[in-house]
Amino acid sequence: MKRETLQRIVRWGIKNLTISEFIGLENVPASGGIIAATNHMSRIDIPLLFTLPVRPDITALVTDKYQSYPFFKWFTITAGGIWIDRTKADFTAFRLAAEVIAAGRALGIAPEGTRSDGELLEGKSGTVLLALKTGAPVIPVGISGTDTVNDEWKHLRKPHLAVRIGAPLTFAPLERDRRDTQLQDYTTEVMCQIAALLPEKYHGFYRGHPRLKEILASQAEVYNPA
């Protein structure tokens, strides 16, 4: 099966089996390499991101444990996904991801490094390092509702899924004497921007974080001007 055919099938499934909405699509550049950094709660997150309306060229980093599952292996290969070994610094996956971005495509990545139980985990630095290497903007994405998909389907209900997209983030090069601090600050910024796109119940590790409070306050000023 061709990638385009798979994408059409997935779009049909998302449209007919869920109530889904994409909010903030104007924040996604229509062309050029980008990194879509998203939270990750469910196996349906990747297929949902695969249907991103403005970037049909999107692919994603996928944990290599799914190579043991025939359907997920087939789906990932057909969709052009990049296998990554989450147990180590996978330099091959990093190189392939950089090549995808250099080719002007969109790459989906979960900075948490693994699937959560619904609440955000502490972010890892790989997303920021990839952005610094490629010069690509990081687009924060908050996905909500996918944690209840199985239960909703079990009760013959369509789950309500929301994909909220924030403004692109870019980062100044790391300074030699402040590298570790800057890398942590940049990673925290990405994660807090993602958290700000999610209902409070998903905030997890970043619940009450000072930077998250600042972002939410600035959002409130935009939507509720004095």
| Res. 88 pLDDT band, cuts 50 70 90 | confident
User: What DSSP string runs through the chain?
Assistant: --HHHHHHHHHHHHHHHSEEEEE-GGGS-SSS-EEEEE---STTHHHHHHT-TT-TT-EEEEEGGGGGSHHHHHHHHHHT-EEE-TTS--HHHHHHHHHHHHTT-EEEE-TTSS--SSSPPPPPTHHHHHHHHH-PPEEEEEEESGGGHHHHHHTT---EEEEEE---B--PPPPGGGHHHHHHHHHHHHHHHHHTTS-GGG-GGGTT-HHHHHHHHHHHHHHS--
Mean pLDDT confidence for 78-103: 93
pTM of the model: 0.93
Instruction: Give pLDDT, residue 127.
Output: 96
Mean pLDDT confidence for 84-90: 87
Could you read off the pLDDT of 150-192 as tens digits, one per residue? Answer: 999 999 999 999 999 999 999 999 999 999 999 999 999 999 9
| Res. 87 pLDDT band, cuts 50 70 90 | confident
Could you read off the pLDDT of 130-155 as tens digits, one per residue? Answer: 999 999 999 999 999 999 999 999 99
In the chain, the number of structural domains is: 1
Q: What is the CATH number of the domain that holds 168?
A: 3.40.1130.10
Position 224 pLDDT exceeds 80: no
Position 221 pLDDT exceeds 80: no
Instruction: Give pLDDT, residue 222.
Output: 62
Provide the domain limits for residue 100. Answer: 3-223
| Res. 220 pLDDT band, cuts 50 70 90 | confident
Position 223 pLDDT exceeds 70: no
